[in-house]
Amino acid sequence: MPAPSLRVLTRDNGVGLSRDLRLMAECLSQAGLECERVAFGAGGRSGKVMQLDLWARRLRHGRTDVQVFLERVYPRCLPLSRRNVLVPNPEWLLDRWQPLLPRFDLVLCKTRHAQRIFQARGCPTAYIGFTSDDRRDVSVPRERAFFHLAGSSAAKGTEVLLAAWRLHPEWPRLTVVQAERHARRGPVAPNIEHHIGYLDDNALRWLQNRHQFHVCPSQAEGYGHHLVEALSVGAVVLATDAAPMNEHVTPERGVLIAARPGRRQGLDTTHEVTIEAIERAVDHALCLTGWQRAAMGEAARAHYLVSRRAFRERVRASVPMLLGEAAPGTVTGCAS
């Protein structure tokens, strides 16, 4: 009997989605499934051309067994497989995709928050969690300073964080890494280093390990790679006290920043932090003793390792669901 055919699809955006595609395909391969990776836009090829190629292959070879859509829904690709699975980021599920949810046989959720959202809409779901790259480098000496990775996202709370820091010249250095697309050059402050533009991976990893504190006042997260990477290096992470951010960061392994609900986005709600909330969280972090900082860093690292292992185990356990050999409910229980 031939091995089942499986395809993982998303957009090649060079950052989060490209990383998700690699991590998911690697994990499915480790679970014993051969995965075809389809990254729309890779190599400059348009999505329409790539979809035509997939349709031509269907005409020649028939439908694939399973397709896994990461975040994005490609309606023209749904008929290309016998079963379709969605791994969503709720805040990016566009209005025009929501009527297509009944066409998915299964929704695999990266967070408990996402699972609640899709269960409420009647979707068959299973929680698998997710993981991020291990960024730890023990050779880099730590400094009592703060780091914020905004990247190419406009939803990381960067502007309010910078505004808060400019009010406090007595605070330690804040290093911000941000893509040109969303960066705003504000007043210069002696305790702010604002890296705007491309930063190679080795330099970024050095910064992640150099700073004892990582500040992540996100408005929303589908999973939160920058949060989880901060946990992987054993940093003290300051994160928004709202789901799913507070699934990763708890008082035992970080500092939570008070937040209030914002606007609706996709199937989720954004959360806003204020300057005052950042001030309280930073003051709390600065009052931690060396022993407390070390304990939080160790707890963060331990949580990262446990979550990474659990993700692989849950994906392996979800294979019968992916192939339609088990009902979602029978495997949801094992992914506790």
Indicate if 163 and 295 belong to the same structural domain. yes
The CATH number covering residue 288 comes to 3.40.50.2000
Q: Residue 329: pLDDT band by 50, 70, 90 thresholds?
A: low
How far is 217 from 181, CA to CA, in rounded Å? 19
Same domain, 297 and 313: no
- What three-state secondary structure class fits 10? strand
**Is residue 123 in a domain?**
yes
**Does 158 share its domain with 122?**
no
| Cα–Cα distance, 38 to 40 (Å, whole number) | 6
Which residues, 6+ apart, have CB-to-CB distance to 134 below 8 Å?
232, 304, 308
Listed in order, strand segments (DSSP E) in 41-128 are 64-70, 81-87, 106-109, 125-127
Let me know whether 265 and 173 are in one domain: yes
Domain span at residue 14 reads 6-132+308-335
Tokens of 149: 């990775």
Residues 214 and 302 in one domain: yes
Average confidence (pLDDT) over 282-311: 98
pLDDT at 1: 64
Q: Of all helices (H) and strands (E), which one includes residue 41? A: none
* Interval 89-128: pLDDT, tens: 999 999 999 999 999 999 999 999 999 999 999 999 999 9
Separation of alpha carbons 277 and 267, rounded Å: 26
Domain with residue 122: its CATH number is 3.40.50
